[in-house]
Amino acid sequence: MADFKLMSYGADARHARAGVLSGTQVYDAELLTGRSDYRTTMGIIEDWATAEALIGQSLDTGGHAPVGDINAVHVQAPLLWPGSIFCAAANYTDHAQAMARRSGRPIEPDPRTLGIKPFHFMKPPKQSVVGPFEDLVMPSFGKNVDWELELAVVIGKTACNVSVEQALDYVAGYTVSNDVSVRDAIYMKRPNIPETSPFNSDFIGLKGFDRSCILGPFITPASQIGDAANLGMKLWIDDELKQDSNSSRMIFSAAEQISYLSERVTLLPGDVVLTGTPAGTGAESGTYLKKGQTIRMWIEKIGETRNTTR
């Protein structure tokens, strides 16, 4: 069966259509398969058990005219309006160690040895998504805006109380993401709130603001990724390499995160799980984004994004 990647293409998000990237050629998913519900990427993901094989077989059959070369189409976020966006916090060993050094704290032990479970927060899905080549509009209320390269998991089958061993069976594919974050102290530690209070941080101000989640450029099917726990990951700011790591450095694997989340909330097709960021964020050095800079991200077997801040 032919290899492919899923994408969205079109001049604007409202009228974007699902595309299938095979080699350098983009095919319209609806025209390729004859399935009207595959007009959007979400429609494909919601029928993933059938869609993956059908798309592959349709490509093998041939005779379908491509929309054009990948460099000739306008690429949108692969999921313009995901179901839910779950984000893992403090989930890479190298990042956790770097943050500890930055704050003068001793290196903390592996959370597993303390019985600690994964920790997630959420981003508003309809307001958050930024396409892989769109400008990133900086939030007006935050001065210290940070980058966080992350491997994102796209759920392809309803998952409720699934085991770690079965969790990856519920994954449609993977994409590149950036959990854009505000690091201003007022949002990280709200004034006049005790340090021990569960309401100490403002997660809307920190993580949940408009256009705080870059996604793209493609969704690579899980069957074509192989080992998602061993993917190279890089992020550059103005061509300066800032993050250079590997998904093997996750503390809790994608499978463990899916299993944990599914015990608390039913995961649905089109939900996205951002699995955490490695070392090299701005918070570790006190260096943050400025307007006019270019953020470039790459994850092995998925692709590369490029966004300019304004």
Full domain range(s) for residue 43? 5-76
Q: Are residues 253 and 195 in the same domain?
A: yes
Put simply, whether the predicted model's pTM sits higher than 0.85 gets the answer yes
* 148 closest CA partner among 291, 259, 245: 245
Dihedral sign computed on CA atoms, order 8, 13, 14, 15: negative
Q: Are residues 114 and 174 in the same domain?
A: yes
Q: Are residues 168 and 269 in the same domain?
A: yes
Cα gap 93→245, rounded to integer Å: 11
The pLDDT of residue 26? 98
In the structure encoding, which two tokens stand for residue 250, read together? 């996750």
Cα gap 274→150, rounded to integer Å: 6
Q: Is 215 helix (H, G, I), strand (E, B) or coil?
A: strand
Residue 41 Cα to chain centre, angstroms: 15
Q: Are residues 268 and 130 in the same domain?
A: yes
Q: Are residues 277 and 194 in the same domain?
A: yes
**pLDDT band for position 39 (cuts 50, 70, 90):** very high
Q: Are residues 28 and 152 in the same domain?
A: no
**pLDDT band for position 107 (cuts 50, 70, 90):** confident
User: Burial, 285: exposed, middle or buried (Cβ in 10 Å; 0-12, 13-18, 19+)?
Assistant: exposed
Q: Are residues 181 and 200 in the same domain?
A: yes
Residue 188 near residue 201, CB atoms below 8 Å: yes
Q: Are residues 286 and 138 in the same domain?
A: yes
Q: Are residues 91 and 69 in the same domain?
A: no
- Domain boundary, last residue among 76, 107, 126: 76
Q: Is 147 helix (H, G, I), strand (E, B) or coil?
A: coil
Q: What is the pLDDT of residues 279-308, one digit of tens each?
A: 999 999 999 999 999 999 999 999 999 999
**pLDDT band for position 72 (cuts 50, 70, 90):** very high
Is residue 198's pLDDT more than 90?
A: no
CB 244: neighbour CB atoms within 10 A? 15
Name the one residue in this structure whose structure tokens are 């600690």.
116
In the structure encoding, which two tokens stand for residue 106, read together? 């001793």
Name the one residue in this structure whose structure tokens are 């899916």.
258
**The Cα angle at residue 56 between residues 35 and 302, in degrees rounded to 5:** 105
- Domain boundary, last residue among 76, 98, 129: 76
Share of the chain above pLDDT 70, in %: 99
In this structure, what CATH number is given to the domain that contains residue 100?
A: 3.90.850.10
Residue 124 near residue 248, CB atoms below 8 Å: no
Q: How many distinct structural domains can be found in the chain?
A: 2
- Domain boundary, last residue among 76, 96, 131: 76
Cα gap 275→27, rounded to integer Å: 30
Q: Are residues 155 and 59 in the same domain?
A: no
The residue with greater pLDDT, 186 or 99, is: 186
Give every CB contact of residue 204 below 8 A, 6+ residues apart in sequence.
none
Q: Are residues 105 and 64 in the same domain?
A: no
Residue 61, CB half-sphere, CA atoms under 13 Å: how many?
11
The pLDDT of residue 178? 98
**pLDDT band for position 142 (cuts 50, 70, 90):** very high
CB 100: neighbour CB atoms within 10 A? 14
* 51 closest CA partner among 65, 63, 40: 40
Whether residue 66 has a cis bond before it, omega within 30° of 0: no
